[in-house]
Amino acid sequence: MIDLYYWPTGNGLKIGILLEELGLEYRVVPVNIRTGEQKQPAFQRISANGRIPAIVDHAPEALDAPLSLFESGAILNYLADKAGRFLPPTGTAERQKVQEWLFWQVGHVTPYLSQLQLFKEKAPEPIPFALDLLNAEATRLYRVLETRLSEVPYVAGEYSIADMAIFTWIQPLRQGQDLADYPHIHAWRERLKARPAIQRAYAKGRDIAANERSLALQ
């Protein structure tokens, strides 16, 4: 059994998608970040950074005690390795390609697109400098992804944890992007949206927090 400490944000959803794809037995433990539950000491003993997602694996291989992990990229790698799916074997060029695009998501996509959404939706008044900077970076990131997907059907060639990680953060309506300008991203998103595991993950997210705008699978 794996406990998933979770709220259905972009970072939470990608772990839910992988668990659904893998068919692993797991239990969702909601952590309501809107009310500050991530700041509670009990959760911070699991996630030292005080952020979702986090997991506790009660049956880790070759360990006698439960294993807790935080940070979505680390969790994706761990679960994919545990199941031997969606992440090629160690030492292969294919694995490094997955890692390359996973770290691109962690280091660029989430920080810039989440800040753009924050400034667009939560700032008391518009801040033109920040919006101009973040809109330009969003456009650049979409172009990077569009170029890559013009070459391959999935970001690392085959469907992998890198696709799951990026998918949840490509929310064009919230990020001021028109997918008519990005036909390869559009086709890729439609392929992923059709996957039953992704549909199940988003449905579970809607059950937990119906007001999360990222859950519409638009």
How far, in Å, CA of 130 to CA of 128, rounded? 6
Do 201 and 13 meet the contact criterion of CB atoms below 8 Å apart?
A: yes
pTM for the whole structure: 0.93
Residue 90, pLDDT > 70, answer: yes
Give pLDDT tens digits for 186-204: 999 999 999 999 999 999 9
> How many helical (H) and strand (E) elements, i.e. helices and strands, does the chain have?
9, 4
The H or E element containing residue 39 is: none
CB neighbours of 160 closer than 8 A, spacing ≥ 6? 80, 86, 87, 88, 98, 154
Residue 214, pLDDT > 70, answer: no
Give pLDDT tens digits for 2-53: 999 999 999 999 999 999 999 999 999 999 999 999 999 999 999 999 999 9
- Stretch 147-172: mean pLDDT, rounded? 98
Q: What is the mean pLDDT of the chain?
A: 94
Amino acid at 215: L
The H or E element containing residue 178 is: none
